[in-house]
Each structure stands twice: as structure tokens, then as C-alpha cells.
Amino acid sequence: MDVALLNWAAVAAGTVGAFALGMLWFSPAMFGKTWAAGSHNLQPPQTAPWLAMVVQFIGLALLAVVVGMTETVGAIGVAIAAILAVAVIVAGMDMFSQKTGRAVLIDAGYVVACGVVMILAQGLL
């Protein structure tokens, strides 16, 4: 696959959009309080978790590239399968760490929502 064929604007928009969605998704205004309570009562860190944010951004960028690659070759179904696979893996890890059902759904739902943002970016840009 020729990476020059990727819609890099859509990859960037999908990455940034999904990252921004995460800031809202896990905020107290949306699911943050329920997620924290279901994640062993996590408390907000004293300082920004920069390393976690960088790792999250890199992971989102990689997923956006996968979505872009599959869109380029007309195999968006593969991207949907990959997104769902990641969501199920996250759910399994959350269950193993004994998060509540709500926290598991919030985490897995975020992965699916990120995939939707990335697919929309590919379709709109």
C-alpha cells in the first residue's frame, strides 16, 4: 500500500477529533464521575498525566492510519472489525481489573466512538 495515497488530512482530523472526544468523554460533565467510581474510585491526578496523554495520542494516530488505509483500498469493513476488536480487548482488560460494568462500557464505548469519528473524518474530508 502506498502511504502517499492516504488522506492525511482525514487521519489528522480523526486523531485530533478522537483525542478531543476523550477529553469530553472522561470529563465530569459526561462520563468521568461514573467511570472514576467504577474504576476503583480513581481520583484526578495532581498534575496532567503527560505520558499517558502522549501514549493515547500515538495509539489514536495509529488507529486513524488503519482506518485511512482501509478506506484507501475500499475495505472499511476491516477498520470496523479492528475497532470492534480493540473495544472488546479493552473491555476484557477492564473486566480482569474488576472495573464495574458501567466503567467497562464507558471505556469500550470510547473506542467505538473514536472509530466513528475517524470513519467520519475519512468520509467528510
List the pLDDT tens digit at each of the 125 positions of the chain.
788 899 999 999 999 999 999 999 999 999 999 999 999 988 878 898 999 999 999 999 999 999 999 999 999 999 999 999 999 999 999 999 999 999 999 999 999 999 999 999 999 99
Could you write out the three-class secondary structure of the chain?
A: CCHHHCCHHHHHHHHHHHHHHHHHHCCCCCCHHHHHHHCCCCCCCCCCCHHHHHHHHHHHHHHHHHHHHHHHCCCHHHHHHHHHHHHHHHHHHHHHCCCCHHHHHHHHHHHHHHHHHHHHHHHHC
Could you tell me the residue ranges of all domains in the chain? 75-125
pLDDT of residue 44: 79
pLDDT of residue 119: 98
Nearest to 11 by CA among 60, 84, 76, 80: 60
